[in-house]
Amino acid sequence: DGGITQSPKYLFRKEGQNVTLSCEQNLNHDAMYWYRQDPGQGLRLIYYSQIVNDFQKGDIAEGYSVSREKKESFPLTVTSAQKNPTAFYLCASSPGDRGYYEQYFGPGTRLTVT
Amino acid sequence: AQSVTQPDIHITVSEGASLELRCNYSYGATPYLFWYVQSPGQGLQLLLKYFSGDTLVQGIKGFEAEFKRSQSSFNLRKPSVHWSDAAEYFCAVGPFRGGYNKLIFGAGTRLAVHP
């Protein structure tokens, strides 16, 4: 089955540690996205990537980093510089073709930093 | 600036009752509009989308939405709600010129269904 995989589902880290969240898709989509979700705030875009080896900052990129070395993978690193990292993180992808804009979402990773 | 407003944070309906979730947007061009649903602790699932053409669009799970340009609205409706419809619903608008298919999401409406 085609889809988006995020692992792990739950992640716990100590303050001051970097942590990397995995996102893999086998939909052959060009574009991939990372969102952060906090209660009552909807989804906020962290980073997005249209093609391999290219990515752009979203609205809340500070304290995060990404890489896009392969079309199917778009890992997100939450660094120690992120002041409030505890949140639900969602990865999404879209075909990227003109006129085809809906995004497909993974199941999410809940990160808790103490 | 582009934005999406979902005026209702929480809505409670009885099972079998009709439902309407409101969505208003601010966008400088012809919008592409989406409704997504999220069950607790899960990712988002696309319910329906509007790109052009007929302003009344049908989606999955018996949902429909109507695009009204004059009111900048894209309200989601269902004639008879089932207990399994309890979830959070997000309206989204896009894309943006040079924005790599970026979408802007509303803050969401949480739906509770009473038996």
| Tens-binned pLDDT, residue by residue, of chain B (115 aa) | 788 999 999 999 999 999 999 999 998 777 889 999 999 889 999 999 998 888 999 999 999 999 999 999 999 999 999 999 999 999 999 876 555 567 889 999 999 999 8
Give Cβ neighbours of residue B4 (< 8 Å, ≥ 6 apart). B23, B24, B25, B26, B91, B92, B93, B104, B105, B106
Identity of the residue in A48, A56, A102 whose CB atom sits nearest the CB atom of B49? A102
Structure token digits, residue B66 = 């109507």
Which residue in A has a C-alpha nearest to residue B96's C-alpha?
A101
Give Cβ neighbours of residue B70 (< 8 Å, ≥ 6 apart). none
3-state helix, strand and coil shares in percent for chain B, rounded to the nearest 5: 10, 50, 40
| Cα(B43)–Cα(B87) distance, integer angstroms | 11
Which residue in A has a C-alpha nearest to residue B5's C-alpha?
A42
**Whether A48 and B102 lie within 8 Å, measured CB to CB:** yes
Helix (H), strand (E) at residue B114: strand B109-114
| Cα(A76)–Cα(B99) distance, integer angstroms | 20
